């Protein structure tokens, strides 16, 4: 009896413990709750890429990968619990997919010597790697988004926005308020009038905001929304007959979810992006063959090529490439989180590398360094075709206002360093 109980206890422990030989990439996903429609495709893309690496390449550097998931429900407290519960499993990098969770995890991951990747979200000034040693936000951040939108509009208007009115419709939260400072500075620099239009969570009722826009008649509207706010905003913009081609959402307001509900009325709506759209890339053939057809897809396999699936896949690809870099730097295949951080800090994505991975021109080329955890901040613009139900990239990945953004990053990160007694330095 004792022998049986002992065997069962050991078996239980083995089942509960992670397989330490795996390279573990935890996924803080949200497949339930109000934001599930956005969380599911991202989590599927993230998991499917690693499944493909395991099936096609035998993992990374010969070591298999695993993607344990924890459901956060886009809730900050649950997200922190997820981090704490998965921490013991040897996770190499955390991607919380929530600005709220990111803010809570910045001090924790730094103390635990575990890197965090917040691609296109989170604390923008984390770009300064000398202060935020364990947080990375390459290839672009919120302020790049604001500047990218203005640069695109400058190009559309022959380089002159003087006298134009630009409104920012934003989620009334820390996330939504991120671009305000940047846009205020840019309005002074380029001479356009800037107006803020906040929308309360969750954003199901926006009549007041769009009546304001109808009255003020801005030339352009930029949106920083998430979840149901996006769908309602696109519908309300159509209702007041605001020209869709003058309405630009940040990348969190630019997925199929955000425009499908409005039908034909959403035709011409634009959104920023830092990665490619559609599934016309060789990597998707491998995903189909090794993951979907093999019955190993994280979801139903019907999200492949959608904006948020691609973003999840891109995040996984960047994590895998950083892991490869870490393996090269340290000369070991079974890397730990600290070594992964070094790999992320030395990551360089070139066009040749992306083409070899089956993702030619999928994202901008960039190089990470100790001083720059955010990459070069190149931003592109996509446009929705309601008839074909597809997004098309209508601009190149273009440079943002580096001078302004770098100065804002320096200001904000210095304040954070002073508050937290951090002496900025490279690790």
Partner 1 sequence: MNEQLAFTIEVFLNGLMAGVLYALVALGFVLIYKASGIFNYAQGVMALFAAMTLVGIQNGQVPFSHLINAIFGTDIHKFGWSVHSFLAIILTVFVMIALAWAVQRFVFRHLVGQEPIILFMATIGLAYFLEGVADLMWGSELKALDVCVAEGACLPQGMNTWLEATTYDALGYGFFIDNLDIVASIIAALLVVGLVMFAQYTKQGRAMRAVADDHQAALSVGVSLNFIWILVWSLAGFVALVAGIMWGAKSGVQFSLSLIALKALPVLMLGGFTSIPGAIVGGLIIGVGEKLFEFLIGAPFLGGATENWFAYMLALLFLVFRPQGLFGEKIIERV
Binding footprint of partner 1 on the chain (CB under 8 A): 31-37, 40, 172, 196-200, 202, 204-205, 207-209, 211-212, 214-215, 227-228, 231-232, 235, 238-241, 257, 260-263, 265, 295, 300, 302
Of 115 and 227, nearer to partner 1 (C-beta) is 227
Of 56 and 214, nearer to partner 1 (C-beta) is 214
Of 40 and 277, nearer to partner 1 (C-beta) is 40
Minimum CB distance to partner 1, residue 276 (Å): 22
Of 233 and 404, nearer to partner 1 (C-beta) is 233
Minimum CB distance to partner 1, residue 253 (Å): 14
Minimum CB distance to partner 1, residue 383 (Å): 20
Minimum CB distance to partner 1, residue 124 (Å): 21
Of 195 and 324, nearer to partner 1 (C-beta) is 195
Of 264 and 403, nearer to partner 1 (C-beta) is 264
Minimum CB distance to partner 1, residue 234 (Å): 10
Q: Show the 3-state SS of the chain.
A: CHHHHHHHHHHHHHHHCCCCCCEECCEEECCCCCCHHHHHHHHHHHHHHHHHHHHHHCCECCECEECCEEECCCCHHHHHHHHHHHHCCCECCECCCCHHHHHHHHHHHHHHCCCEECCCCCCHHHHECCCCCCEECCCCCHHHHHHHHHHHHHHHCCCCCCCCEEEEEEECCHHHHHHHHHHHHHHHHHCCEEEEEEECCCCCCCHHHHHHHHHHCCCEEEEECCCHHHHHHHHHHHHCCCCHHHEEECHHHCCHHHHHCCHHHHCCCEEEECCCCCCCCHHHHHHHHHHHCCCCCCCCCCCCCCHHHHHHHHHHHHHHHHHHHHHHHHCCCCCCHHHHHHHHHCCEECHHHHHHCCCCCCCCCEECCCCECCCCCCEEEEEEECCCCEEEECCCCECCCHHHHHHHHHHHHHHHHHHCCCCCCCC
Of 177 and 330, nearer to partner 1 (C-beta) is 177
Minimum CB distance to partner 1, residue 33 (Å): 6
Of 153 and 228, nearer to partner 1 (C-beta) is 228
Minimum CB distance to partner 1, residue 412 (Å): 21
Minimum CB distance to partner 1, residue 180 (Å): 11
């Amino acid at each position: 009896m004792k022998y049986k109980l002992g065997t069962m206890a050991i078996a239980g422990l083995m089942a509960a413990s992670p397989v330490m030989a795996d390279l573990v990439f935890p996924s803080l996903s949200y497949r339930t709750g109000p934001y599930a429609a956005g969380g599911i495709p991202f989590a599927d893309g993230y998991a499917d890429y690693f499944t493909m690496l395991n099936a096609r390449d035998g993992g990374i550097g010969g070591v298999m990968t695993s993607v344990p998931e924890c459901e956060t429900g886009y809730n900050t407290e649950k997200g922190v619990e997820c981090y704490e519960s998965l921490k013991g499993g040897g996770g190499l990098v955390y991607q919380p997919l929530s600005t709220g969770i990111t803010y809570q995890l910045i001090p924790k991951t730094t103390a635990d010597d575990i890197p965090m990747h917040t691609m296109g979200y989170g604390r923008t000034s984390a770009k300064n790697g000398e202060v935020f040693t364990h947080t990375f936000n390459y290839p672009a951040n919120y302020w790049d988004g604001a500047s990218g939108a203005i640069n695109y509009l400058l190009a559309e208007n022959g380089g002159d926005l003087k006298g134009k009115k630009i409104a920012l419709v934003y989620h009334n939260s820390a996330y939504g308020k991120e671009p305000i400072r940047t846009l205020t500075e840019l309005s002074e620099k380029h001479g356009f009038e800037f107006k803020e239009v906040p929308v309360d969570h969750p954003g199901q009722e926006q009549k007041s905001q769009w009546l304001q826009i109808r009255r003020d008649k801005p030339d352009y509207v930029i949106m920083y929304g998430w979840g149901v706010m996006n769908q309602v905003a696109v519908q309300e913009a159509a209702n007041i007959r605001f020209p869709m081609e003058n309405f630009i959402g940040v990348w969190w307001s630019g997925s199929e979810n955000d425009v499908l509900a409005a039908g034909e009325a959403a035709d011409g709506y634009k959104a920023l992006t830092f990665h490619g759209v559609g599934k016309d890339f060789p990597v998707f053939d491998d995903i189909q063959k090794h993951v979907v057809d093999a019955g190993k897809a994280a979801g139903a396999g019907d999200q492949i090529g959608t904006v948020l699936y691609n973003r999840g896949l891109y995040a996984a690809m960047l994590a895998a490439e950083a892991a490869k870099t870490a393996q090269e730097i340290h000369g070991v295949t079974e890397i730990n989180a600290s070594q992964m951080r070094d790999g992320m800090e030395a990551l360089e994505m070139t066009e040749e590398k992306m083409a070899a991975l089956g993702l030619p021109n999928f994202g901008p080329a960039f190089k990470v360094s100790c001083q720059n955890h955010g990459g070069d901040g190149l931003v592109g613009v996509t446009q929705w075709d309601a008839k074909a139900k597809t997004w098309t990239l209508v601009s190149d990945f273009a440079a943002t206002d580096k001078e302004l953004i770098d100065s804002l990053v320096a200001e904000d990160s210095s304040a954070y360093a002073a508050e937290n007694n951090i002496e900025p330095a490279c690790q």
